[in-house]
């Protein structure tokens, strides 16, 4: 079958390119001889002729316009409308990426406290890839559920051990990545439910501290806020931040899912004077963090660095990484055992992750996806006999209860999500986080765009989202027939033959 | 799109010249000044055309003064001034007062064109072509 259109567009274009100047002459004659009003048309065709001449003979950038003239512009105009048209009209509820409309709508309903019951069956494919949760014939009574409680630092009897009571943590997003109103909305909402929020690697967490929520201070590879000139750790600055009453824990970011193997990026469009000051950098160019900490050259120095941060901060201290090789993770675990130093938690970031700017190849191609990384890491720690020494947190598209319970079954002790909270605060997935043009004011520093965010209102949505996630998690735990998240495991999952996890279903990984 | 300071100043000078030239005739157009009525009678547009052109010139002046719509004002102004020049060429002529009128139309067209050139990266249908130029 021919794919050519019935109309020969090149012929049509050449016809139009001749007709426009002819119409210019015709309307000029009519304006001269019949009525001066025809000169409105003369002017219109004059401008059109000039534009067309520029397309055909002036510009050299667009071949299509050089060959077709004004008609070629139709293609660019239609193409520019494409993303919006597809999102509004043509994409079905389950086909968009990274989050489809059904997933987004579930968060929106939770955030606004609207019942998220669906009818007439699932819209998902019940195919050979989808992991399902196995329920019990004898569900747990709601009254038998144990309240969630996860204590970081308890294993080493830390004086400043932190008890997490809400299993959903606001994942690392810096002031810089987010605007100040978005940060304060998240922080106020999490404060209301007694939750925990990660500050991201944005230096001194000025806006996070304006609300009452518990914080994890994240130290990225550039150590914004706690760095010396040479990029090494400024111990005094870290001790000062760790001494802030709201800062409960410290997270050392080794790598992140959006761009594993590469440092964080803040495009210069988003760098204000204040951000440059809080981070101690110039505002004239993109902020690109180094790919790793200067202190972390090998396994031994990495574990030693964890211990150093732990002893300076006197707080529970964890690490965050996206796994590339599971055997490297196994080596790191072995080194922890050798030195007898275990981070209080490890956040496993799936390669799915990322709100911010990253080279497309890194977003699309680099790093292990969350599910195999999490399962692999959990199995390695179990078989090394050190799973009890630390907690595992999981992040990577875990915005809905269905995805979250799967991660908990794979070994996670709690869930981190960034984009889930962004949706709760009104994100519409415009995917402009890196360009300072976020239309809903979340990832921009433009005050005119931030204006739309009413912190009090968005904080309520964030709190609603957390409470409804807790409600759904409780119901799922009851259905599975367990009393707490500690009791669920891989045996509660049905893993079909084509699933990414199938190899683990048949032959659990051994180190 | 932000212009460098000298270009921004040059553009604003052009905008103000165009606004001054178009704006000063508005009073005569809207109050039905004899000379204005005479012009539009010769163009066979009296009185509707006089009000219509006057209204469009007013809109062009306002657009030229609002920072986010300068190019639209310049486009509209350039169109109106081109029409005025066509009027002088085909019907009104250049004799006497008409010469200064015609020359002021040419001056306004030049000012609008200069503004459009300085702000060419803001012109719809042109900006996308200019922005994609390889560096």
pLDDT in tens, A408-426: 999 999 999 999 999 999 9
Contact A474, A115 (CB under 8 A): no
What is the spatial distance between Cα A215 and Cα A134, in angstroms, rounded to a whole number? 35
Rounded to a whole number of angstroms, the distance from the CA of A214 to the nearest CA of chain B is 41
Flag if A65 and B129 touch (Cβ within 8 Å). Answer: yes
Within 10 angstroms of residue A260's Cβ, the number of other Cβ atoms is: 23
Number of Cα atoms under 13 Å in the Cβ half of residue A364: 4
Facing residue for B128 by CB, picked from A28, A36, A76 = A76
What is the C-alpha to C-alpha distance for residues B24 and B22, in angstroms, rounded to an integer?
A: 6
Cβ proximity of A140 and A473 under 8 Å: no
Secondary structure of residue A239 in the 3-state scheme: helix
Residues 60-119 of A with CB under 8 A from B: 61-62, 65, 73, 76
pLDDT digits (tens, 9 = 90+) for B8-30: 999 999 999 999 999 999 999 99
Q: What pLDDT does A117 receive?
A: 80
Peptide bond connecting A273 to the previous residue in cis, omega within 30 degrees of 0: no
- The dihedral built from the CA positions of residue A444, A186, A244 and A156, taken in this order, carries a sign that is negative
- What backbone phi and psi angles, to 5 degrees, belong to A42? -55, -45
* Half-sphere exposure at residue A440, Cβ-oriented, CA atoms within 13 angstroms: 15
Q: Would you say A302 and A335 are in contact if contact means Cβ atoms under 8 Å apart?
A: yes
pLDDT, residue A506, reads: 60
% of residues, chain B, pLDDT over 90: 84
Q: How many CA atoms lie within 13 A of A350 on its CB side?
A: 21
- Which of B90, B133, B134 has its CB closest to that of A32? B90
Element (H, E) at A405: helix A401-409
Closest alpha carbon to A193 in A169, A175, A171, A217: A169
pLDDT average, residue stretch A223-233: 91
Q: Which of A407, A417, A414 is nearest to A98 (CA)?
A: A417
Instruction: Quote the pLDDT of residue A74.
Output: 87
**pLDDT tens across A483-506, in order?**
999 999 999 999 988 888 887 766
**Rounded to whole angstroms, how far apart are CA atoms A81 and A93?**
19
**Tokens 């079954």 identify what position?**
A409
> Looking at CA atoms only, how far is residue B110 from chain A in angstroms?
15
* Residue of B68, B84, B125 to mutate, testing the A interface (most A Cβ within 10 Å of its Cβ): B125
* Contact criterion met (CB below 8 Å) for A376 and A326: yes
Q: What is B61-91 written as a DSSP string?
A: HHHHHSGGGHHHHHHHHHHHHHHHHHHIIII
Distance between CA A433 and CA A422 in Å, rounded? 11
Contacts of A62 in chain B (CB under 8 A): 129, 132
- Say if residues A254 and A302 touch (Cβ distance below 8 Å): yes
What is the helix (H) or strand (E) element at residue A203, kind and residue range?
A: none
Please tell me which residue, A165 or A364, carries the higher pLDDT value: A165
Please give the span between the terminal C-alpha atoms of chain B, in angstroms, as a whole number: 17
Contact list, A39 vs chain B (CB under 8 Å): 83, 86-87
What confidence score (pLDDT) does residue B121 get?
92
Write down how long chain B is: 135
Bridge partners for A247 per DSSP: A215
Classify residue A177 by its DSSP letter.
T
The pLDDT assigned to A279 comes to: 85
Task: Please indicate whether residue A404 or residue A90 has the higher confidence score (pLDDT).
Answer: A404
Annotate A307-318 with three-state secondary structure.
HHHHHHHCCCEE
Q: Is the pLDDT assigned to residue A5 strictly greater than 70?
A: no
Rg (CA), chain B: 16
Beta bridge partners of residue A249, listed in sequence order: A216
3 state SS for A423-458: HHCCCCCCCCCCCCCCCCCCCCCCHHHHCCCCHHHH
Residue B24 has a CB neighbour count (10 Å cut-off) of 10
3-state secondary structure A327-342: HHHHHHHHHHHHHCCC
Query: B29-44 in b/e burial notation, b at 16+ Cβ within 10 A?
Result: beeeeeebbebbeebe
Of the pLDDT bands very low, low, confident and very high (cuts 50, 70, 90), residue A511 is: very low
Residues in B touching A448 (Cβ below 8 Å): none
Q: pLDDT category, B87, cuts 50, 70, 90?
A: very high
Nearest Cβ partner for B133 among A46, A61, A65: A61
| Average pLDDT of the residues in A99-108 | 92
Q: What is the mean pLDDT of residues A324-347?
A: 96
Q: What is the ipTM of this complex?
A: 0.94
List all residues 6 or more positions away from A106 whose beta carbon is below 8 Å from its beta carbon.
Answer: A116, A400
Note the pLDDT tens digit of each residue in A58-67: 998 889 999 9
A242-271 pLDDT per residue, tens: 999 999 999 999 999 888 888 888 888 888
Using a CB–CB cutoff of 8 Å, tell me whether A59 touches chain B. yes
Share of chain A above pLDDT 90, in %: 72
Q: What is the pTM of this model?
A: 0.85
Intra-chain end-to-end CA distance of chain A, in Å: 55
Burial class (CB within 10 angstroms; exposed 0-12, middle 13-18, buried 19+) of A442: buried
The model's pLDDT over A6-45, given as tens digits with 9 standing for 90+, comes to 788 889 999 999 999 999 999 999 999 999 999 999 999 9
Q: Is A43 in Cβ contact with B129 (below 8 Å)?
A: no
Inter-chain residue contact B126 with A61, CB threshold 8 Å: no
Backbone angles phi, psi at A437, to 5 degrees: -120, 20
Residue with tokens 């951000």: A275
Residue-level pLDDT at A507: 53
- Say if the Cβ atoms of A62 and B132 lie within 8 Å: yes
Tell me, what's the pLDDT at A280?
Answer: 79
Nearest Cα to Cα of residue A394 among A376, A362, A417: A417
pLDDT at A1 > cutoff 70: no
């Amino acid at each position: 079958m021919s794919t050519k259109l019935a109309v020969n567009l090149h012929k049509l274009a050449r016809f139009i390119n001749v007709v426009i100047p002819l119409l210019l002459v015709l309307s000029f004659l009519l304006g001269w001889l019949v009525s001066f009003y025809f000169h409105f048309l003369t002017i219109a065709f004059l401008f059109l002729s000039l534009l067309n001449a520029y397309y055909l003979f002036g510009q050299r950038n667009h071949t299509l316009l050089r060959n077709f003239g004004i008609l070629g512009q139709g293609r660019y105009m239609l193409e520019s409308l494409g993303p919006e048209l597809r999102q509004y009209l043509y994409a079905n509820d389950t086909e968009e990426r990274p989050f489809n409309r059904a997933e987004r709508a579930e968060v929106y309903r939770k955030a606004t406290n609207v019942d998220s019951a669906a009818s007439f069956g699932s819209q998902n494919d019940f195919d050979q890839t989808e992991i399902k949760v196995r329920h019990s014939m004898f569900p747990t009574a709601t009254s038998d559920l144990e309240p969630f409680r996860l204590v970081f630092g308890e294993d080493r009897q830390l004086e400043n051990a932190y008890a997490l009571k809400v299993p959903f943590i606001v994942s690392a997003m810096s002031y810089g990545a987010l605007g100040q109103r978005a940060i304060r909305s998240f922080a106020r909402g999490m404060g209301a439910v007694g939750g925990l929020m990660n500050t991201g690697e944005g230096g001194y967490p000025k806006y996070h501290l304006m609300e009452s929520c518990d914080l994890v201070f994240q130290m990225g590879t550039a150590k914004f806020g706690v760095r010396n000139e040479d990029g090494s750790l400024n111990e005094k600055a870290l001790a000062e931040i760790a001494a802030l009453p709201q800062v409960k824990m410290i997270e050392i970011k080794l790598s992140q899912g959006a761009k594993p193997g590469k440092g964080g990026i803040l495009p210069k469009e988003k760098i204000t004077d204040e951000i440059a000051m809080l981070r101690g950098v110039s505002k004239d160019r993109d902020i690109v963090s180094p790919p790793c900490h200067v202190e972390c050259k090998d396994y031994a120095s990495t574990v030693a660095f964890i211990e150093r941060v732990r002893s300076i901060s006197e707080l529970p201290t964890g690490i965050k990484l996206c796994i590339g090789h599971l055997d490297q993770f196994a080596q790191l675990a072995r080194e922890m055992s050798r030195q007898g130093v275990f981070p209080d938690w490890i956040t496993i970031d799936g390669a799915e992750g990322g709100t911010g700017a990253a080279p497309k190849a890194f977003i699309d191609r680099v790093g292990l996806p969350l599910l195999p990384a999490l399962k692999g890491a959990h199995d390695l720690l179990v078989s090394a006999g050190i799973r009890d020494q630390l907690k595992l947190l999981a992040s990577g598209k875990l915005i809905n209860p269905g995805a979250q319970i799967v991660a908990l079954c794979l070994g996670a002790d709690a869930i981190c999500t960034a984009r889930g909270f962004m949706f709760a605060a009104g994100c519409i997935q415009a995917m402009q986080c890196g360009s300072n043009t976020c239309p809903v004011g979340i990832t921009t520093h433009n005050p005119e765009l931030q204006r739309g965010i009413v912190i009090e209102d968005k904080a309520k949505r964030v709190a609603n989202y957390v409470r409804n996630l807790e409600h759904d998690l409780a119901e799922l735990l009851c259905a599975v027939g367990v009393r707490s998240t500690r009791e669920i495991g891989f045996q509660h999952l049905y893993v079909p033959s084509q699933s990414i996890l199938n190899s683990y279903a048949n032959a659990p990984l051994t180190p | 799109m932000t212009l460098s300071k000298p270009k921004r100043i040059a553009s604003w000078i052009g905008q103000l010249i165009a606004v001054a030239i178009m704006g000063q005739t508005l009073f005569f157009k809207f109050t039905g000044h004899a000379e204005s009525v005479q012009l539009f009678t010769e163009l066979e547009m009296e009185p509707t055309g006089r009000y219509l052109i006057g209204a469009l010139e007013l809109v062009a002046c306002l657009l030229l003064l609002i920072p986010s719509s300068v190019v639209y004002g310049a486009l509209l102004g350039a169109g109106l001034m081109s029409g005025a020049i066509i009027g002088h060429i085909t019907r009104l002529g250049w004799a006497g007062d008409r010469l200064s009128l015609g020359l002021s139309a040419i001056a306004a067209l030049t000012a609008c064109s200069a503004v459009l050139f300085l702000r060419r990266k803001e012109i719809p249908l042109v900006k996308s072509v200019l922005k994609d130029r390889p560096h």
